[in-house]
Structure 1
């Protein structure tokens, strides 16, 4: 017998017809990550004549109970719609009962003729159904209530990706990133940099792992490699795996893999040219956008020039360096066995060429301005696109604020050592590590030295292409501001989605402006939430989670008990070697960097390029979010500053003034007082 009950997350393409057009669309929206409340469909095979089968009814009760466990205060809605709802010969609109806002105990079989839907209060949806035992249409007030953890049982992480994209999204910023992510992914729903849990960016780990599993690959080494980027999965937490069918792999995934391979090859081949031409292209496009006078002109610039360049910059930023970084990771493992993790990291740092690392450019550039080697205008042209809010388009970048550079210069003078002195110290450490390598392995040193020299190109290329992706992404802000000007709504434009803006530019109505006030309200609610856990397994409600006095920032898994952490120590990833004792300074944003005193230990939820100017002043770095290949770890290694990253709970367990011992080589923080 055909399957009688299908959840939104479970409805396969071959069952779309049987679910009805609107049931199909809700399931597709749910699987694609749109903010559709969870629910399930009672398929035609669940009925015998006009009666619901006993087995189907039991499955309905079980599913209702699971929904109730996840959200005890939920009400439900049941409405109906026919397979062929309206035709030239007949219409079933309004022919059958509607049931809304009903508690579970009131449901009986007659209410379950078609579809039952969980209705969280904060999502503000109204479901509309027409006719019986097939499906639905959906009307809603769009309040930017997006929580991708509700789309199914997946493992999400914001390690690394949440460092680069650390702000709460506005609708426009998120929708541009989601469009780029859909261009990049090979599996529907495999969001790597646009998974959205209440305005914060997350990556879906489960679908990537599921693909490898379906291909018959051993998951242990894959997860070990992924941990360098996304962090280690906590002990006891498992990765939910989606069992892809061969049909799915062949029809859906294989064409995307072929397309992806083509784009990766082009990104690798064209990266030198892209790095050379991108800055000038961005300056010219910025000028064109500012000069645009009509909707048609702005739309043409987007379609023919700006969006294609966004796509090219994204592929380059994510993939041009991938092969080189994999070689470096392989060599790191080999060196660690020979000389230990500390010396291995020093040998593979960009010591001697650190000033060429793009993520250090904003810092070394300030040093050059102070010494008269670089003008303020030249600094702004080279580094004005870098800052703490690079992927949130509603926030100006440093290049738009003349006072920003002057403030950074003033803060620069507070550091106990010039950045070039720190880099020189790290070069000395690298030379000492090389000498030890030659002394202990004279037969291998020449070959290893060649491999080390080749591999250090990986981090430099990675940081360079990511910088140019950032530069391109910031041009989208210029596009948005011009659209806001032409629409007469100014910076409210950031609370529209990209497709809404493009539809308006193409001659449509700008009807979505009626949602702006509600979207702003939801945006502020998201901003009021504390930092969310680095890893989230399954359905996650931040409004309930934030009330838990024992909540953890390193992970959330409803199926695992919450463990009380050791009160005397913290553990994370070994970011950069070194051991130091000092006083803690907890900062929530880089704009408060003037509070960091020279020699204090900087503690933050996460750091990105916007935090880099603070590093020379810090004795050590501690972050909640991060992994060995995250920004804090890479920059700290280049500067020789001890760092422990990905601690999960550092900002909640440590307070400004606490005294700690940081052991960056072991990933350990000892709390002294």
Structure 2
């Protein structure tokens, strides 16, 4: 029997799936097939899934949209409905039913049509049920639905819906439970409300609900006494539902005869972190978390395109999703997030999982990891996620152990990867260019490019070493902070030049004729300031790039060898002092320094090769654009959408103008704060003239203080040395034209693309960074004083300010403001010279 023909828009393909199953227009919860789930609508799909998973869901069936013609059941469909009713009356004690709507785009993380479509309760005869089905089906034409579409910016077309018929539970109590506070996003507290009797009285406003809370991780109850007994089962079910459905849930429930029933479960729409039409990612909306952008900002200083965001959200290795907290044995939370186009690490997850190692002390956990994550102010509270003692021992600790073992296993593969990656990238790039069939390109991605690229990403992370950090801590206790920094400032001299300095040292060789331009481009043509953005053109794509770099290089009137010689002299002097003080530990310390140098060198090498493989992903994306109508706009699609377009489904291309507008809007904003606590709206933050550039705290709004305070600016020790000089604020690498030799470079963060500027600088000061960030490593090797991770340096300092940078102490002292004629009160030095002064080394 043919399907009744009418258009279903984006669901056309889904309806064709059921062409071979026309005799099953009405399907029980138990028998809903996977290919029919989308046709069952949001409510029908979830109820069927939970029923099959063993949750106590009232039995029922789903009437698919194909069962209707002009909102009336076909004769065949009617027969199937009556057959299902006979079954339910035979198998269930309940003899009355509820008829509910199930919209195909309902109950997702993005949209909930709660109360917009009709439901009919307490019907029992066949005729009452038939009329209820027709009434519910017709509700899709209502004025309230059209108004909801306008408010939510949804298409104005009528929504296709299925109809659910369920056994009615005569509830003693019924209510709603949110597994995360829907207002604050607090993960440590479930909130809910309930009434006596059926829940529809609460929805309609005929009854006033009572509220209650459940504190995690133990489910401690606070609320009316009559709910104390059933709430234990409700808490267990809620935790399981979060785990099984993968996100925070809004759960409708009922109690009858001492049993708990699940009536509905759907994502909490206020905690949604993604809008598909505009490709807006904002994981700060998914809960109350503390987000840190330190290392992420250095790797990707600009707003990421949807294509790049989607790859950061899909990092899976050996079946484990490392963007999700499941990799740490904690389910349902984002670990690597995107906040309006910029990458952040969820510090709440990492701290919650690590606290037991430090006796449950949150602040000590942060302090131990500050070299990697950066510091957080004492007054910033870290929202935690619920992890019980049992869950930590049985899930978190084993997951962490497996992670450490995986990283150690990957670390052994780094030399092989470094040796083979150049050839693989060349061969794969050529293969991509030769492909003419879009579907063939999609297959190449799935079978070869994606697995290899994921492996490259995890190899780069496995190469991250803590040896320099641990050694600096040991040396700090032995010889002091400044001498420890000096002893670690010669890693290149102890092994071979670090990759971070390669673009500088080898460009010097090109200028001297000791290295060819071709060899230089082969080595560094894939590196640069925005190499983690796949839409960013690589230097190797520009034939004039090398000549431009040489021209800029000639503006630096310093011999690079002079910088290294000065740095080497400072290291030698410090090492001699160490030898005199600890003669018995000289051999051991020399070996430890050598080991740290080799580890740092390996990390730099694998990072470079991982960046090279990222250039292959860019080649794939551009080829996909060329083989389809997406063109260069391909980067406004997610990787899954690119694959869909390659395979013939180009409906998403209609969203490209909206996505480009969203992306351009983000690009126009200033860099976001490094630390974000709670829900963050970048446009609202940017519109505040007194916004803070270092921290955003949604629960305790803190406005920026005046920039002319006398307090020194503090950060991490980047590279030792004290310098006085004039500030030059550079907001991005492209705007460095006014940066003069001998000025103090102040910027948000740096990466390998900035290396060529460093010899011009008297000192480096950054908002973002740690002792292992690019600015600190490169400055140490060049002997340039540096203070990194200041948080608010670009907010407090202005071009022309006179400052003293104390790299060894991690302090920047403002001596004289650019617009003032006399020194500040806290400056005791007079007669400051007009060029930078190296006070001591």
- TM-score normalised by length of structure 1: 0.79
Equivalent pairs counted in the alignment come to 585
Change (3 A) 1:476 1:558: same
Instruction: Please list, as runs of the form range in 1=range in 2, the aligned pairs for 1:222-621 lying within 5 A after superposition.
Output: 222-245=365-388, 257=400, 260-261=403-404, 263-322=406-465, 325=466, 327-349=467-489, 350-353=491-494, 356-505=497-646, 507-560=647-700, 561-562=702-703, 564=705, 567-568=709-710, 569-621=712-764
Contact kept in structure 2, 1:165 and 1:389, CA below 8 Å:
yes
1:176 equivalent among 308, 311, 315: 311
Equivalent in the alignment of 1:198: 340
1:489 Cα offset (Å): 2.4
Equivalent in the alignment of 2:292: 157
1:225 Cα offset (Å): 2.6
- Cα deviations by residue, 1:424-475 (Å, 9 ceiling, x for unpaired): 2212211111101011112222222222221222221221111111111121
Change (3 A) 1:480 1:95: same
Partner of 2:725, secondary structure, is strand
Change (3 A) 1:647 1:265: closer
- Cα deviations by residue, 1:121-156 (Å, 9 ceiling, x for unpaired): xxxxxxxx99x9636699976112221111111000
Partner of 1:203, secondary structure, is strand
Contact kept in structure 2, 1:624 and 1:648, CA below 8 Å:
yes
Q: 579-588 or 136-145, which moves further after superposition? A: 136-145
Instruction: Please list, as runs of the form range in 1=range in 2, the aligned pairs for 1:5-44 lying within 5 A after superposition.
Output: 21=45
- Cα deviations by residue, 1:110-131 (Å, 9 ceiling, x for unpaired): 35799xxxxxxxxxxxxxx99x
Q: 295-304 or 520-529, which moves further after superposition? A: 295-304
Contact kept in structure 2, 1:584 and 1:656, CA below 8 Å:
yes
Change (3 A) 1:81 1:307: farther
1:500 Cα offset (Å): 0.8
Distance in 2 (alpha carbons) for counterparts of 1:171 and 1:383 = 26
Equivalent in the alignment of 2:264: 134
Structure 1 or 2, whichever has the larger Rg, is: 2
Equivalent in the alignment of 2:813: 670
Distance in 2 (alpha carbons) for counterparts of 1:158 and 1:108 = 46
Distance in 2 (alpha carbons) for counterparts of 1:83 and 1:555 = 50
- TM-score normalised by length of structure 2: 0.64
2:203 equivalent among 110, 119, 122: 110
Contact kept in structure 1, 2:117 and 2:139, CA below 8 Å:
no
Distance in 1 (alpha carbons) for counterparts of 2:781 and 2:618 = 32
- Cα deviations by residue, 1:207-263 (Å, 9 ceiling, x for unpaired): 111112367854454322321112111121111111124786689757855763453
Partner of 1:303, secondary structure, is helix
Distance in 1 (alpha carbons) for counterparts of 2:307 and 2:717 = 36
1:564 Cα offset (Å): 2.4
Equivalent in the alignment of 1:121: none
Identify the structure with bigger relative contact order (alpha carbons < 8 Å, sequence gap 6+). 1
Contact kept in structure 2, 1:354 and 1:423, CA below 8 Å:
no
Contact kept in structure 2, 1:600 and 1:619, CA below 8 Å:
yes
Distance in 2 (alpha carbons) for counterparts of 1:487 and 1:236 = 52
1:585 Cα offset (Å): 1.3
Distance in 1 (alpha carbons) for counterparts of 2:403 and 2:349 = 16
Distance in 1 (alpha carbons) for counterparts of 2:802 and 2:551 = 27
2:355 equivalent among 199, 213, 220: 213
Partner of 1:478, secondary structure, is helix
Change (3 A) 1:336 1:197: same
Distance in 2 (alpha carbons) for counterparts of 1:244 and 1:183 = 19
Change (3 A) 1:24 1:386: farther
1:614 Cα offset (Å): 0.4
Change (3 A) 1:112 1:228: farther
Change (3 A) 1:494 1:657: same
1:310 Cα offset (Å): 0.8
1:299 Cα offset (Å): 2.0
Q: What is the CA RMSD across the aligned residues, in angstroms? A: 3.6
Q: 486-495 or 646-655, which moves further after superposition? A: 646-655
Distance in 1 (alpha carbons) for counterparts of 2:119 and 2:315 = 36
Distance in 2 (alpha carbons) for counterparts of 1:23 and 1:529 = 43
Contact kept in structure 2, 1:355 and 1:364, CA below 8 Å:
no
Q: 247-256 or 205-214, which moves further after superposition? A: 247-256
Distance in 2 (alpha carbons) for counterparts of 1:81 and 1:510 = 34
Contact kept in structure 1, 2:482 and 2:809, CA below 8 Å:
no
Instruction: Please list, as runs of the form range in 1=range in 2, the aligned pairs for 1:66-105 lying within 5 A after superposition.
Output: 78-79=115-116, 93=137, 100=148
1:558 Cα offset (Å): 2.6
Partner of 1:485, secondary structure, is helix
Change (3 A) 1:110 1:222: closer
- Cα deviations by residue, 1:599-632 (Å, 9 ceiling, x for unpaired): 1111111111111110011111111111221111
Distance in 2 (alpha carbons) for counterparts of 1:458 and 1:599 = 32
Contact kept in structure 2, 1:190 and 1:208, CA below 8 Å:
no
Distance in 2 (alpha carbons) for counterparts of 1:363 and 1:111 = 70
Equivalent in the alignment of 1:61: none
Contact kept in structure 2, 1:82 and 1:135, CA below 8 Å:
no
1:296 Cα offset (Å): 2.9
1:480 Cα offset (Å): 0.3
Distance in 2 (alpha carbons) for counterparts of 1:669 and 1:418 = 27
Distance in 2 (alpha carbons) for counterparts of 1:19 and 1:246 = 35
Contact kept in structure 2, 1:159 and 1:231, CA below 8 Å:
yes
